[in-house]
Amino acid sequence: MDLNYRAGKFNLYGNYGNYGGKSPVRGNITREADQSEEIWRSESDRIYHLTKIGVDYYLNDKNSISFFTNQSSLVNDVIGTTNITFGASNNVIYQRYVSDRENSTSVYNLDYRRQFSKKGHFVELEMDHNQYEGVELTDFFYSNEGITNTYLDDIEDERVNTAINLDFVNPISDQITVELGAEARLQRIENSYVSSNVNFNNSEYTYDRDIFSIYGTYKQVFQQWRYQVGIRLENYEVNGDFRPSGESNDIFKDDIFSVYPSVFIAYTPAN
């Protein structure tokens, strides 16, 4: 479903969609070497919702502001079994799991654009924020040679990404164009794993990444020749920390400053 309405300086729009249903999976593997056969069955029951709402506001002929948000959610319930038999042996390995999975994503985007009198001369600022949250609860039942085991896994995941871009373009003349820009990209990840299985370690994980950069390019057309020179300066920083229970932390750090020069030359033969 899509809607769009414009009145005066405002343009409002939105849409909504969903899908869902059950998806069965069937399969088997036969191994001649040990005369074993593995049979697995699973079925997922899911429902997905997606909503988008946005607005464009035209302050005047040269200034505009746009904002939109995407909101999505997924619920997915999965039931699966695996059964392995070994030839004439009475040994049977059986596993059954029931998994409840839910996640949601929120996106927020804001854009401001200022158009100057000269064609192609503008400055634009865009900010985008994306947040994801997911939870997975899985109940396992395992049986092998009369020995049974049940345990529960709980996985939680959160990811946040933020990007900010500032771009400036100025066609100084019909032959010369200058572009300047700056960008920041921030990423935050948190993950936790908790299990009731005594053979598995609970753990937590965090990962932070920051990238800051600025760039500039100079373009010129001279008769049949076109050339462009540019440079990009970028600082890249990462901090990761993996914390398993009962063990020492595994820490990762990185900090890199990079310079990326660029040169582009093109020649167009005369007709």
Q: Band of the pLDDT at 109, cuts 50, 70, 90?
A: very high
For residue 65, the surrounding DSSP H or E stretch is strand 63-86
User: Tens of pLDDT along 70-101?
Assistant: 999 999 999 999 998 887 666 788 899 999 99
Residue 134 backbone zone (phi > 0: left; psi -120 to 50: alpha; other: beta): beta
Residue 171: per-residue pLDDT: 92
Secondary structure of 18-62 in HEC code, one letter for each residue: EEEEEEEEEEEEEECCCCEEEEEEEEEEEEEEEEEEEEEEECCCC
User: Tens of pLDDT along 200-240?
Assistant: 899 999 999 999 999 999 999 888 888 899 999 999 999 99
Question: Number of C-alpha atoms within 13 angstroms, CB side, residue 125?
Answer: 5
| DSSP bridge partners of 125 | 112, 166
